[in-house]
Amino acid sequence: MKTKKKDNKKKKNNPATIVILLLIFILVAAYTIFANFIDFPFSDQFSRALSILPFYNEDSAEEKTKEKPDPIHEIEEEEEDKEALLMAAGDVMVHTIQLNQAKDENNDYDFSPSYEYITDYLENADVAVANLETTFAGPERGYSCFPLFNTPDALAHNLKDAGFDLMCTANNHSLDMGKEGLFRTINVLRDAGLQSFGTYQSREERDTSLIVDVNGINVGFLAYTDSTNAIPIPEGKDYIVNYVGVDSEPSLESAAAIFEEDIERARNEGADLVAVYMHWGHEYQFTPHIWQEKLAESLAKAGADMILGSHPHVIQPMEFIEIEKNDGSSHEAFVAYSMGNFVSNQHYIPGAIPTEEVKYGLVLKLHLAKEAETEEAYIDKVEYMLTWVNRDREHQILPLHEAIASEPEVFKIPENKYNRLEPIWDRTLERLENFQPAFTP
């Protein structure tokens, strides 16, 4: 039986096969490359045709032919110019009649009716601030009014609900209830969601600047008083209230050094602008005292941008002042010498309070700006709103332009008092020449 011999000869590759495989390889490579850049019209059909080839991996081809994203160039968004509205008001006080009318049958207190018609305006501000001229020492100390103020904690919450964000606490009534009353006032304000400045609980707290982000513009807030009503500051606790003694040091050298150190610290800690509440001057005077002007110059020289005055209880003039600083550069600051009373029961009392204008107040509208390119911050515009306290109706703070434009019965204003509103409006506008009211009757 014959057996077949095993053919050990290698088969020769067919040249035609090699050419075909080479062409297919070139086509596949070309397709893979160009599919990334061209919307190849027959890409799906071509892929199916290639899939019959033994060496073709569909998953690998799909991965290679996925559309590659265009290179992403990281372009930083351009910083935009910033604008902000800071609203500042004068003295917040609570006298006996206000205390009594705020008390209900359960011995709880509610001062919110006073703020009913002003809240909508305050809520338009990016930040709103006023001077708190009372303390929150607690019911254990007994609630009291002039000359030593201690008000129910409810007022702090009512002020927050009215639209305020900050309270200045450096004034001649800061120590009415002593050190403990001062400390408790700060705590009550914090619990109500209000930041305070001007009085402090520790040296560290006093030497840490209060800087508030006002819609992208960092504003530092400082406050000083030239009086504590002769109540001594506890020994070794000079940090609890920012006191500058004008009478004891007419040269103002110590005050100037304090201003310069505090304002420089605020700048170093990030403040674009610095606002200073200054409790100064003589009560019931319509023009600033020479010491107010000297203190304003000293503050401006130290770098303050906004100087907001309180204590005279009536509205005094406003102006921009330009000062040459120690380094030879010039600096401009806005000064409101007195914003008057925001709310109180003060009124004309023969022999005691010589004017009825203690019922009128100034709410400043400070339009702030910061340029993105230069990072320069400045006061773009100053406007104001006049207010009047209606003592005949829960001490409601009325926008004066609304009160004048309305009939007396709208706000329950007695006819004889209503008739005096417009003359005082005109007189106040003359005193505030060079500045325009934000609203008119």
What whole-number distance in Å separates Cα of residue 147 and Cα of residue 95? Answer: 10
| DSSP assignment string, 312-324 | SSSB--EEEEEEE
Q: Is the model's pLDDT at 64 over the cut of 80?
A: no
What's the pLDDT tens digit per position in 81-100? 999 999 999 999 999 999 99
Residue 168: the pLDDT is 98
- State the number of CA atoms in the 13 A half-sphere of 418 facing the CB: 14
Residues 373-401 have a mean pLDDT of 97
What's the pLDDT tens digit per position in 354-380? 999 999 999 999 999 999 999 999 999
What whole-number distance in Å separates Cα of residue 365 and Cα of residue 370? Answer: 16
Residue 325: the pLDDT is 80
Residue 119: partners with Cβ closer than 8 Å, 6 or more residues away: 161, 162, 163
247: pLDDT confidence band, cut at 50, 70 and 90? confident
Q: Is the model's pLDDT at 55 over the cut of 70?
A: no
DSSP code for 4: P
Residues 428-435 have a mean pLDDT of 97
What's the pLDDT tens digit per position in 125-181? 999 999 999 999 999 999 999 999 999 999 999 999 999 999 999 999 999 999 999
Question: pTM for this one?
Answer: 0.82
For the beta carbon of residue 431, count every other beta carbon within 10 angstroms: 15
The domains found in the chain, sorted by start residue, are 18-58 (no CATH), 82-437 (3.60.21.10)
Residues 409-418 have a mean pLDDT of 96
Six-digit token pair at 68? 């590659």
Residues 310-327 have a mean pLDDT of 94
Residues 385-409 have a mean pLDDT of 97
What's the pLDDT tens digit per position in 13-42? 555 555 555 665 565 555 555 444 444 444
Nearest to 199 by CA among 191, 187, 211, 215: 187
SS3 label, residue 34: helix
304: pLDDT confidence band, cut at 50, 70 and 90? very high
